[in-house]
Structure 1
Amino acid sequence: MDEIKVESLFEWLDRTTQIIHEQQDEPYLDSLAVTLETLFYQDVSAEIDDLLKYKLQSALKKVDLTTYQIEDIRKATQLAILKGMKGSTQQQHLMTPEAVALFVGYISEKLMKGKDKIRIFDLVSGTANLLLTVMNQLEQPAEAFASEIDPTLIKLGVLNANLQQKQVEFFHQDSLRPFLVDPIDLIIADLPVGYYPDDIRANDFQLSADKGHSYAHHLLIEQGMNYTKEAGYLIFVIPDFLFDSDQSDKLHAYIQEYAHIIGVIRLPESAFKSKKNVKSIFILQKKGKDTQGPKQPLLANLPSFNNTREMGDILDQMNGWFKQYI
């Protein structure tokens, strides 16, 4: 990845998005979707008025997409999305931190080693940055699926995948509704935390609450398990308090019955805005006929991502653990 290239493409995306934002009075993220569409098709939508069309055609002449690597495009797009999310008040308009996404990619690559082709599914894909980061780190081709209910986020996700030349099948739906997909090798999700409002749908899940609303983050773990093939893996970015909540006994029993706990990696506090937002990476394997859990699950507390010496030591230990486990 070339930092100068990333910066120049981000500046182009940001400038062009500002032009659309000012002209159409749309939110930044919606304007960014128009920018990405224009960049991908190298053309301006017929629905745009003449003045904006002229400005966008002029902007297109100043950028040559063929001079950028896929990873430059991913990073520049991510920076533009992050800028838009800072101005957005909606809770779901948050992105998995870059270092966390790279770490999920590292674990995915270890677990999928030696497989010819895999099927991967991000249950709550947002702008698809987590999914695309993981796909960029896998050594084998992946058949990819993503689900997202928010119309702005899924549009950005589709454009993000197109610009990075990645084939992803997107589902624009509530991620707790049924999917038409064959069993999956690897489920990933940065779990949104909160109550699920549809009590009738929640009742179809073993992890539904005995009374009141169920936790969406619990139901998504079960949903992931339902679509994972036997012996397949699930990697969740979870809140620190996952097993301390009032419905956690049920979750604990469910996981004991259907999965092997492969590991829990606590992410550094410095990666999050406040202590109460700290998350961990939770790794599961769906039980199958010939599966058995590791003798000792992988448990680690990550140092700050900026502390390269300590991070190097932890990675060495983790590499050793994976070598034994795989």
Structure 2
Amino acid sequence: MTFEVDKAFKYLDQLTMSIEKTEEETYLDSLVFALRAIQTEEALAFPDAETEESVVKLKELFYQEKPDKESIRKVIQLALIKGMKGSTQQQHVVTPDSVAMFIGYFLQKLLNDTKQFRLFDPASGAGNLLTAVINQVSAEVEGYGSEIDPTLIQLAVESANLQQLSIEFFHQDALMPLLLDPADAVVADLPVGYYPNDEQAAHFDLQAEEGHSYAHHLFIEQSLRYTKEAGYLVFVIPNFLFTSEQSEQLQVFLRKQAHILAMLQLPLSMFSSEQHAKSILVLQKQGTDTQAPKQTLMAQLPSFKDVNATHNILRKIDGWFQTEAEK
């Protein structure tokens, strides 16, 4: 029996909207309660028969049809996209699946022979990018995420529980000290903008000389702090990262701390305007035995809908990995 993602989303959406209406909560807060309702064995009181039927149907779909983790993530992702549509809060954005899949593919190539590793997302939001990457790699992954938004971190916890993934979340400002041992790899869709806490920013090499520091710069520095020597970091970055003010300071810092392995520009068609366009930046933290790549991999990624062009770029990436392995 094939698990129907759209059908499961229809019931989840129905349940979430019912909670939203009766509890007078936002859609995202209601989604937290909906995900908990699916996982609880207690008898819950619902306002009408239709809502009760949604819970019964969802439990049947999730526990009797036994969908894989990735199918469960996709159902939750559809609800997240609906809940975040039109949101004015910058952190209320879901990393597109095609980007998450590409990051997972790249990480798999980097950690090809690794059977087990620790993965950290310092800006984990509702956990969609982190869980998408964990579901894609073949190794056993111990996941960690940090998120300050109370609704998003609750969604991340419920999503990880429903997918039965081993992830520990920190509900805090990720730029404050973390009770976390360094990870083997970091992934993050970097929050873009200014960091308001100047006092905390003063603890970073990348603090601004005057005024507020860039949060996206500080997240890169913090990620490197919590990455093992020779570990890998894969970021979704704004295209202006290396051309905006304070970028010279960032470049000097990165030359001392990391090797830039790849810079892959995402298709412009994915973004509302050129100024919002993003790229994937791949770094390796410097270590005793690490060295810079013979050549940094630079590429403009095609639309992921163009199968031939995507295959061509994957061949180019495979060739780059082969050249680096020979080195």
Range moving further from structure 2, 84-93 or 275-284: 84-93
CA distance in 1, matches of 2:259, 2:299: 17
After superposition, the Cα gap between the structure-2 partners of 1:113 and 1:215, relative to the gap in structure 1 and judged at 3 Å, is same
| Structure 1 runs of 4+ with >4 Å offset | 53-56
Asked whether the 8 Å contact 2:175–2:222 carries over to 1, the reply is yes
Alignment match, 2:260: 261
Instruction: Output the CA distance in 2 between the equivalents of 1:72 and 1:79.
Output: 11
Structure 2: 5+ residue runs without aligned partners?
none
2:47 to 45, 48, 52: 52
- Equivalent residue for 2:57? 62
Q: CA deviation at 1:55?
A: 5.7
TM-score where L is the length of structure 1: 0.95
Cα deviation per residue 1:155-192 (whole Å; 9 max; x = unaligned)?
A: 00001101111010000000100111111110111001
Aligned counterpart, 2:74: 75
C-alpha distance in structure 2 between counterparts of 1:207 and 1:188, whole Å = 20
Would you say how many aligned residue pairs link Structure 1 and Structure 2? 321
Shift of 1:89: 2.5
Please state whether the residue corresponding to 2:320 is helix, strand or coil.
helix
**Structure 1: where are the runs of 5+ without partners?**
none
Contact 1:44/1:53, CA 8 A, preserved across alignment: no
Per the alignment, residue 288 of structure 2 pairs with: 289
CA deviations 1:85-142 (Å, max 9, x no partner) are 0143322111111111111111111111101210100010001010011101111101
1:163-312 equivalences under 5 Å are 163-312=162-311
1:134: which partner in 2? Answer: 133
Correspondence for 2:38: 39
The verdict on how the C-alpha distance between 1:51 and 1:163 changes in structure 2, with shifts beyond 3 A counting, is: closer
Secondary structure of the corresponding residue to residue 72 of structure 1: helix
Identity among equivalent pairs (%): 49
CA distance in 2, matches of 1:166, 1:240: 32
Once the two structures are TM-superposed, the CA of residue 42 in structure 1 deviates from its matched residue by 4.2
**Could you tell me whether the CA contact under 8 Å between 1:38 and 1:44 is conserved in 2?**
no
Distance 1:228 1:116 in 2: 18
Given that residues 43 and 57 in structure 1 are in contact (C-alpha distance below 8 angstroms), is that contact kept between their aligned partners in structure 2?
no
What secondary structure is seen at the aligned counterpart in 1 of 2:39?
Answer: helix
Q: Is the 8 A contact 1:20 1:31 kept in 2?
A: yes
* Counterpart secondary structure, 2:299: strand
**Which has the higher mean CA deviation after the structures are superposed, 249-258 or 313-322?**
313-322
Shift of 1:71: 1.6
CA RMSD for the aligned pairs? 1.6
3-state secondary structure, aligned to 2:47: helix
- Give the direction of change, closer, same or farther, for the CA distance of 1:198–1:15 in structure 2 (3 Å limit): same
Instruction: Classify the secondary structure of the residue corresponding to 1:52.
Output: coil
Separation (CA, whole Å) in 1 of partners of 2:101 and 2:116: 20
Shift of 1:43: 3.8
User: C-alpha distance in 1, partners of 2:53/2:14?
Assistant: 12
Map of 1:100-115 to 2, 5 A cutoff?
100-115=99-114
Distance 1:91 1:236 in 2: 17
Q: Distance in 2 between matches of 1:300 and 1:309?
A: 16
